[in-house]
Amino acid sequence: MNGAQTLIRSLAHAGVEVCFGNPGTSEMHFVAALDEVPGMRAALCLFEGVATGAADGYGRMAGRPAATLLHLGPGLGNGLANLHNARRAHTPLVNVVGDHATYHKRLDAPLESDIDAVAGSVSGWLRRATDPGTLARDAVEAVRAATRAPGQVATLVLPADVSWSEAPAGPPPALPPVEVTTAPDAAVERAAAALTGGEPAALLIGGAATRGEGLRAAGRIAAASGARLLCETFPARLERGAGVPVVERLAYLAEMATGQLDGLRHLVLAGAASPVSFFAYPGLPGDLVPDGCEVHVLTRGDEDVTSALGHLSERVAGTRELKAATPTSARPAAPEGDAPLTSEAVAYAVGALLPADAVVVDEANTSGLWLPGATEGAPPHDWLTLTGGAIGQGLPVATGAAVACPGRRVLCLEADGSAMYTLQALWTQVREGLDVTTVVFSNRSYAILEMELRRVGAAAAGPRARDLLDLSRPDLDFVSLARGMGVPAERARTAGEFTAALRRALAEPGPGLIEAVVPPIG
């Protein structure tokens, strides 16, 4: 048995069942070992950013890590943006990066680079394998690190000679249990006092608190205390829909978020960081906590936020029968007719037709303003967002989510500019037979940057500035691009055309794409 076989066997034994990869020469023994060691599914991605984003989507939905397989420093660099998003999402992810043989590195071959420095920017755990005899232990410890609360990217650098050299053939080591750290009782007491003291208060949740038992406990706390229930602007995975506790997302725009928080005297953080604006703007504060508001930390990074919210719920609500505020199952009417298509009409169609138990991946950006309201009463579903703000996440995350959740329809709502970063994900969706429906909002512009140009106080945009934000001349043809990778696709220009196209796409197995031609916002 060689090192690569040992690595795959140990990862599979520790629960890693899928590898999203774009390998090169230094990873060929890993590739060969996939046929020799059972238990690992491999999905080829035509760009490293697709592989890392797919592993992110898989981890968010499966709750356990997928592996990536990347080629040297340049391959890692190509996948870095979506590793950044995975880091911000606290996604468990085992990132395997091949490297030159240990004795070859001193020669400074053309592809030689400082992998450790690049990986360190996104990895909570980083190790360079040095001995095939300890590679099984390295693999298990990488999985354990990735799954340690609240979840992180664990990078294992694999030199080619460690991969091809002989390794011990004994059984892989067992995965040690991951320690669960609980929040101190004092933190629960302080949070309870803040929420029930009679002053304006809010509970801001993130991480695991936006789903499952944590979300239900948070809803019960809000119902018992009268505090506002907020969540992070970009939650990694938010459960929502009819019957699910209503959570108000913190606004992206600093001015709007300031309005949401205005007047608070207490802000309790549960799995979320203290709110700050995404960028600095002239004359506006970066810290969004209002003056006179005290911040209380219920849980810190490695503490179990679900159990902490459960204890806080018991402390605040006691044994009272309380029901969190939940939306009804009312849904908007599906738009029909020949009216020109708008982003608002797309949102209403999605709200009307979204199937039960769907997974929605949202990278609609400015075109998605109406989506939360239109889908609030849809059947229960999961909503995945752009956690780290690095665009090009939507299509890959949808790919990984579909691998993690066979039998569930994945709906990817994608801005046109962002789609072009990782369009190759469509090819992987076809090859893997994934049930992903993609809606591309085709407004032919980086509309969010047009908005930011105004908000930062830059001078009035002239023709050269506008050219850097414009996606026309030529117009992108997403129907042809999708069909070129084997994805059935059609274009909608009216509300009725879009509703009919979405109804067809959601009913068909496998991937499909709709290019929704809409005007830019604002």
Q: Is 262 exposed, middle or buried (0-12, 13-18, 19+ CB in 10 A)?
A: exposed
Q: How far apart are CA 379 and CA 351, in angstroms?
A: 9
User: What are the backbone dihedrals phi and psi of residue 475, each rounded to the nearest 5 degrees, phi first?
Assistant: -70, 140
Q: Tokens 């999203």 belong to which residue? A: 20
| pLDDT at position 464 | 81
Three-state SS across 40-108? CEEEECCCHHHHHHHHHHHHHHHCCCEEEEEEHHHHHHHCHHHHHHHHHHCCCEEEEEEECCCCCHHHC
The CA-based diameter of the chain, rounded to the nearest angstrom, is 71
| pLDDT at position 326 | 86
| pLDDT at position 228 | 96
How is the chain split among helix, strand and coil, in percent rounded to 5? Answer: 40, 20, 40
**8 Å CB contact between 515 and 479:** yes
| pLDDT at position 522 | 59
Residues of the chain short of pLDDT 50, as ranges, are: none
| pLDDT at position 325 | 81
| pLDDT at position 511 | 98
Q: Taking Cα atoms as reference points, which of 53, 29, 12, 6 lies closest to residue 428?
A: 53
